[in-house]
Amino acid sequence: MPSSKTPSSASTPELIWLRPERTGRGPRPAHSRASIAAAAVALADAEGLSAVSMRRIAAELGAGTMSLYNYVPKKEHLFDLMVDAVTGEYRFPDRPSGDVRADLRELAHQQLAIMRRHPWAATVVVTRPSLGPNGLRFAEYYLAVMDPVPFDSGTKLEVMSLLNGFVCQFAEWERGGLSPGQDREQGQRELVEYMVQAVMTGQYPQLAAALSSGGAPADPDSVFERSLCRVLTAMLSPLDPH
């Protein structure tokens, strides 16, 4: 008889943040969502996302495999926990500086740093957006930053999504779309070999011109800086009445 409970989800909710971590009864848990998330993050950092399995993490924690399911109902939720854990790495000042563009730039740089520390994060964030407690803190600070901008809240959140996606995209591109154990060198070499073969068929004159005129390899940081600059300008300018 659910008398005073919120009636929206009858049975156990799918969203992990709606499941209380602990109800107070029974023996003291030997672990916590936080410790499990930390172990998963460490493992993913060290051996790639595909090394993250319930069995591995349980072993890492010295727990039985099935014990984890007392904390994490499904493996997908583990990814949510991991994302929120690394989202906790943002460091916000007490209040925004008032320079919207500078603050957004700073946020983007922090995000890129996080995603370089955790190369799996971009993939997970893009494929499974999830707003844990740390995600909410981020959104809160972001909205404070955007306070001077005369957009309505919906638009501000759209812009947040776009910026977030841009950084993820860049991080993925920088990673080269490689599987964790793969050799970045060889991947590049093979790609070049393939493009050369393709261009030599003569079917791709534009590509041929682009490749032959390709000068410096362009270091990632400056590419990021330039692209971020463009994107920020686009996001902060008033709606284009095209």
Restricting to residues 3-62, name those near DNA by CB under 7 A: 22-31, 51-56
Give the binding range for its own copies (CB under 8 A) out of 23-31, 40-48, 60-68, 130-138: 130-138
Distance CA 19, CA 12 (A): 7
- The distance of closest approach from Cβ of residue 148 to its own copies in the complex, given in angstroms and rounded to an integer, is 13
- Work out what residue 233 binds among its own copies, DNA, none; the CB cut-off runs from 5 to 8 Å by kind: its own copies
User: Rounded to an integer, what is the distance from CA 62 to the centroid of its chain?
Assistant: 28
* CA nearest to 138, candidates 155, 167, 165, 160: 160
71 binds DNA (CB under 7 A): yes
Give the binding range for its own copies (CB under 8 A) out of 28-36, 57-65, 84-92, 211-219: 211-219
Distance CA 86, CA 88 (A): 5
Q: Give, rounded to a whole angstrom, the gap between the first and last alpha carbons of the chain.
A: 56
Distance CA 149, CA 232 (A): 13
- The distance of closest approach from Cβ of residue 179 to DNA in the complex, given in angstroms and rounded to an integer, is 10
Applying CB under 8 A, among 2, 153, 181, 219 the residue interacting with its own copies is: 153
Distance CA 105, CA 235 (A): 12
Q: How far is CA 69 from CA 14, 24, 76, in A?
A: 14, 17, 12
Report the residue number, 31 or 101, with the smaller CB distance to its own copies: 101
- The distance of closest approach from Cβ of residue 193 to its own copies in the complex, given in angstroms and rounded to an integer, is 5
∠ Cα 162 219 159 (to 5°):
10
CB neighbours of 116 closer than 8 A, spacing ≥ 6?
A: 171, 174
Q: Residue 132: what residue type?
A: G
- Work out what residue 126 binds among its own copies, DNA, none; the CB cut-off runs from 5 to 8 Å by kind: its own copies
| 3-state DSSP assignment of residue 27 | coil
What phi and psi values does residue 49 have, to the nearest 5 degrees? -60, -35
Interface with its own copies in residues 162-181 (CB under 8 A): 162, 165-166, 168-170, 172-173, 177, 179
- The distance of closest approach from Cβ of residue 87 to DNA in the complex, given in angstroms and rounded to an integer, is 22
- Work out what residue 194 binds among DNA, its own copies, none; the CB cut-off runs from 5 to 8 Å by kind: its own copies
Applying CB under 7 A, among 13, 14, 15, 65 the residue interacting with DNA is: 65
Q: How many residues does the chain have?
A: 242
- Work out what residue 30 binds among DNA, its own copies, none; the CB cut-off runs from 5 to 8 Å by kind: DNA
- Work out what residue 23 binds among DNA, its own copies, none; the CB cut-off runs from 5 to 8 Å by kind: DNA
* Binding stretches for DNA (CB under 7 A): 22-31, 51-56, 63-67, 69-71, 74-76
